[in-house]
Chain A
Amino acid sequence: MQPDTAATATDLSIELPRLQHVLSGLIPHDLVSFLDIWGGNILALGALILISILMTRACSRFTEVPGRLQNAAEAVVEALENILKDILGSSMHEFLPFLGTLFLFIFIMNLTGLIPMLHAPTSQFEITLSVAIVVFCYVQMVAIRKLGLIGYIDHLMSSPRDLMGWLMAPLMLFLHLVAELVRPISLALRLFGNITGEDALIAAFTGLGVMVLAATGSPVGLPLGLPFILLAILFSLIQAMVFTILSAVYIAQVLPPEGESHAKNPIKS
């Protein structure tokens, strides 16, 4: 790609070029520093607006024979339903709007990073952390609404009913509280690390492709980053799915037991 990629690849900070730096001669300096700070947020906002417009248009006129947009939207919703059905059981439809929006939001944010010279908003820790905090607050809200405040504290103490249970209750309360507080950080770090690592991988191999041909004076490099860009599409999907499934598991854990379906939670911790 650009010859400056090779220069940065030999430095230790491996990063693909940013749009505002490439255009820095054409646009005012204030705008460059503004985009350095807020570029990710603007992209995230753009992703939200894109989802809103697409989904509103897909839902505005339902027809018996679905058009292209409605067909795609239905396919996404059905795929999500199939995955979440096993985790959330019968209460799935209550949480599907939130989890589905979360999935689409993260997926589109991840994909934005594949547009040349744009960086995925999810490669900024602030943005993944804020999404994870939203999930954290939502889980607490669902827990208090479903179990009641007393019931939730009882749940956090592993429902002590006998002497042994009450003796263990303070320890269980502490462990559960720590687990609740660590979850958003672990969710955010997982998404941030994956997307950032992916970007660094693409940048490193693109730089390598330029360096290989640098001795011949060729203006372009070998497209060594291409396979990793294809891999990045797959990882974007998987990471968005993992984030959604983990949020669903966290919600499923605070739901009151409803017979058999509660016992199907895949992950207990």
Chain B
Amino acid sequence: MNYLSITLPLGVCVTALGSAIGLGLAVASAMKAVSRQPEAAGKIQIMLVVSCAFIEALTIYAVVVVFILQSKM
């Protein structure tokens, strides 16, 4: 047991918090855009998926760091 057992989950927690806020903003805007202009739903959906992937990636990086450091825990 060392500090990693506290800091690794905490790191994922903080990045997940940030990603959650970002995803919430992105999805909320996409929902508003679709309700305003339903015929553009297809294009908005693609952009939403791509930008969600970018936002999600930050949390995924934190998880990757956890996988790398897991053996030292």
The answer to whether A246 touches B64 (Cβ under 8 A) is no
19 A-B contact pairs sorted by A residue (CB < 8 Å): A12-B70, A12-B73, A13-B71, A189-B57, A189-B60, A192-B64, A193-B61, A194-B60, A196-B63, A196-B67, A197-B60, A242-B50, A245-B49, A246-B50, A266-B43, A266-B46, A266-B50, A266-B51, A267-B54
The answer to whether B67 touches A82 (Cβ under 8 A) is no
Q: Give every chain B residue within 8 A of A83 (Cβ-Cβ).
A: 46
- Pick from B47, B64, B70: contact of A266, CB under 8 Å: B47
Given pairs A197-B60, A242-B49, 19 additional interface contacts (CB within 8 A):
A86-B43, A86-B46, A189-B60, A190-B53, A190-B56, A190-B60, A192-B64, A193-B61, A193-B63, A194-B56, A196-B67, A197-B63, A241-B49, A246-B53, A266-B43, A266-B46, A266-B47, A266-B51, A267-B51
**Does A238 sit at the interface, judged by CB under 8 A?**
yes
Q: In the complex, A82→B41 CA distance in Å?
A: 13
Residue of B nearest to A266 (CB): B47
Count of chain B residues with Cβ under 8 Å from any Cβ of A? 19
- Pick from A12, A82, A238: contact of B49, CB under 8 Å: A238
Q: In the complex, A12→B54 CA distance in Å?
A: 29
Q: Give every chain B residue within 8 A of A192 (Cβ-Cβ).
A: 64
Q: Give every chain B residue within 8 A of A245 (Cβ-Cβ).
A: 46, 49-50
**Nearest chain B CB to A189's CB is how many angstroms away?**
6
**Does A16 sit at the interface, judged by CB under 8 A?**
no
Residue of B nearest to A264 (CB): B43
Q: In the complex, A14→B72 CA distance in Å?
A: 15
Q: Give every chain A residue within 8 A of B46 (Cβ-Cβ).
A: 83, 86-87, 245, 266
The answer to whether B60 touches A193 (Cβ under 8 A) is yes
The answer to whether A86 touches B42 (Cβ under 8 A) is yes
Q: In the complex, A87→B45 CA distance in Å?
A: 12
Count of chain A residues with Cβ under 8 Å from any Cβ of B? 22
Q: In the complex, A82→B46 CA distance in Å?
A: 10
**Nearest chain B CB to A127's CB is how many angstroms away?**
15
Q: Give every chain B residue within 8 A of A197 (Cβ-Cβ).
A: 60, 63
Q: Give every chain A residue within 8 A of B57 (Cβ-Cβ).
A: 186, 189-190, 193
Q: In the complex, A12→B66 CA distance in Å?
A: 11
**Nearest chain A CB to B33's CB is how many angstroms away?**
13
Q: Give every chain B residue within 8 A of A190 (Cβ-Cβ).
A: 53, 56-57, 60
Q: Give every chain B residue within 8 A of A82 (Cβ-Cβ).
A: 42
Residue of A nearest to B59 (CB): A193
**Nearest chain A CB to B4's CB is how many angstroms away?**
10
- Binary interface encoding of chain B residues 18-56 relative to chain A, with 1 for a CB under 8 A from any of its CBs, else 0: 000000000000000000000000110011011101101
